[in-house]
């Protein structure tokens, strides 16, 4: 047989095997749950639909009927779970459904190089070590920067809504990112990112650049491509490493060189102490500093974007009601007892869970999910938060309606409801079980304070020029949100038409 023909046959065979692995799930996957067609994951890029539309059209029916499906994502077939009782089993059986983050799932990827091995994705003794170090600073923190930064956030908006400006539409997404970056850097990392007070921050610019590279749709869907010597991705690896070094050096400069880590209780300070005591190594120190920045600003950014969207959408009702409540509050410590404000935040988290689809657990042995779904060893299992928080068996016939009143009319009732829904896994936005999010308390304080300051100053509505659309996959929030702001502190407000309208 000629060599050229042999090479051609081998190439066709290799491609066919590769194609079959994409099109069909492995033979040992459970047969009694549906398979979502492999091409579904590509539809948002092709049809320009968001993940809510994708879910409603292509996934919802199968998930509602079976509670679990087979789905292709991240170069592999996975089991995606939605039924709260299944989620409760997963959360409780940490040893069987073990956390397995990007550092294990796709260790060769740019994304794994970015986040590393950290308190969110680690498992077993390593995770317990991280948790011991970081629980206290994540639960007991100085929240005063939240109020200061919320005021600066309002000032950034003020620059764009001045009556002397021709700009009406305000793109709030970049401003929200600046706010959450400064919040997390000052509350957990021990330094000021400076994005709210400076027009150009090199560290912020680098972060923006590498996020565009990391979350490129093609490489997220097929992370195996990062194994190939693609110049673009090799550059991404270098830039990720450079960013990580700059960030850790910044923490060192602020906390180590002047020994501030010995007197402070920042999460970064505790990590430095653990490193100095040989409890963790330098890479573990770096990985956890990076994840504090990543999760600590991205997740609040998603939630705050959704909150502003919903407040603008219901500007004549809920926004007015919350304003009437919070304008009477003079001490932000009292915000935790603001019934309408907290009910609105809880309902926003339920209705649009910031992290919607999460696939980061891997079975350590063959196991049974529920009564009849047998899952082989080494299979990745994820969950769909949107379905769990819209399950009518737990939320009633109005599950698909946005209604903060469902939480109750007093804080005791609301908190009991909140805890109950977290316990039965119908509220999974902050995950569950032993691996429940350590930053829940901090995120809620950050939201309350920001909305308090913003609503006292502004009334806002959705821009008529903004096309309502949500993110295409994974994290869930409105895309490129644009709002119109009216300053409540002025007697009159004249909207000057946008010159581009």
Q: Which residues contribute to the annotated binding site for heme?
A: 437
Tokens 């909150």, residue located: 307
Closest CA to 435 of 361, 351, 345: 361
Q: What is the DSSP string of 117-180?
A: S-TTT--HHHHHHHHHHHHHHHHS---HHHHHHHHHHHHHHHHHH-TT-S--EEE-HHHHHHHH
Proportion of the chain in helix, strand, coil states, percent, rounded to 5 = 55, 10, 35
CB within 8 Å of 148: residues ≥ 6 apart? none
Q: Annotated binding site: which residue ranges? A: 437
In angstroms, the CA 231 to CA 134 distance is 38
Strand order in the sheet with 482-487: 169-171, 482-487, 458-462
Which pair of tokens denotes residue 138? 């994540």
- CA dist list (Å): 218 to 66, 212, 473: 30, 12, 13
Closest CA to 216 of 227, 206, 226: 226
Cα–Cα–Cα angle for 51, 170, 439, nearest 5°? 55
């Amino acid at each position: 047989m000629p060599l050229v023909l042999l090479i051609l046959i081998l190439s066709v065979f290799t491609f066919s095997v590769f194609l079959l692995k994409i099109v069909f799930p492995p033979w040992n996957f459970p047969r009694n749950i549906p398979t979502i067609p492999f091409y579904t994951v590509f539809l948002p890029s092709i049809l320009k639909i968001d993940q809510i539309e994708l879910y409603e059209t292509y996934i919802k029916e199968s998930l509602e009927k079976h509670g679990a499906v087979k789905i292709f994502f991240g170069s592999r077939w996975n089991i995606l779970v939605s039924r709260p009782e299944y989620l409760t089993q997963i959360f409780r059986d940490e040893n069987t459904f073990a956390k397995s983050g990007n550092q294990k799932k796709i260790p060769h990827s740019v994304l794994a190089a970015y986040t590393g091995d950290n308190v969110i994705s680690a498992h077993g003794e390593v995770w317990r070590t991280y948790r011991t170090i970081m629980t206290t600073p994540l639960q007991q923190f100085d929240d005063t920067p939240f109020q200061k930064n919320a005021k600066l956030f309002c000032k950034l908006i003020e620059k764009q809504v001045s009556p002397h400006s021709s700009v009406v539409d305000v793109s709030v997404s970049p401003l929200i990112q600046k706010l959450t970056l400064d919040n997390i850097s000052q509350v957990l990392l021990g330094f000021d990112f400076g994005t709210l007070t400076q027009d150009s921050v090199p560290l912020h610019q680098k972060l923006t650049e590498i996020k565009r590279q990391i979350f490129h749709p093609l490489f997220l869907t097929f992370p195996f491509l990062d194994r190939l010597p693609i110049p673009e991705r090799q550059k991404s690896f270098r830039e990720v490493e450079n960013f990580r070094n700059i960030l850790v050096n910044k923490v060192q400069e602020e906390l180590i060189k002047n020994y501030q880590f010995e007197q402070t209780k920042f999460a970064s300070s505790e990590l430095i102490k653990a490193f100095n005591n040989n409890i963790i190594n330098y890479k573990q120190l770096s990985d956890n500093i990076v994840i504090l920045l990543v999760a600590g600003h991205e997740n609040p950014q998603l939630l705050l974007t959704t909150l502003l969207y919903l407040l603008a959408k219901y500007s004549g009702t809920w926004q007015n009601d919350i304003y009437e409540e919070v304008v009477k509050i003079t001490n932000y410590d009292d915000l935790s007892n603001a019934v309408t404000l907290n009910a609105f935040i809880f309902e926003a988290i339920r209705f649009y869970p910031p992290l919607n689809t999460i696939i980061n657990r891997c079975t350590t042995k063959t196991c049974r999910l529920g009564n009849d779904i047998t899952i082989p060893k080494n299979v990745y299992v994820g969950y769909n938060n949107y379905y769990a928080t819209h399950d009518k068996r737990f939320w009633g016939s109005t599950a698909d309606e946005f209604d903060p009143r469902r939480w109750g009319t007093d804080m005791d009732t609301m908190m009991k409801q909140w805890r109950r829904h977290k316990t039965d896994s119908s509220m999974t936005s902050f995950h569950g079980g032993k691996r429940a999010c350590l930053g829940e308390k901090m995120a809620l304080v950050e939201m309350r304070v920001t909305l308090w300051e913003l609503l006292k100053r502004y009334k806002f509505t959705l821009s008529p020029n903004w096309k309502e659309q949500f993110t295409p996959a994974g994290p869930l929030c409105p895309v490129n949100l644009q709002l119109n702001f009216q300053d409540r502190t002025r007697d009159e407000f004249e909207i000057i038409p946008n010159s581009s309208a």
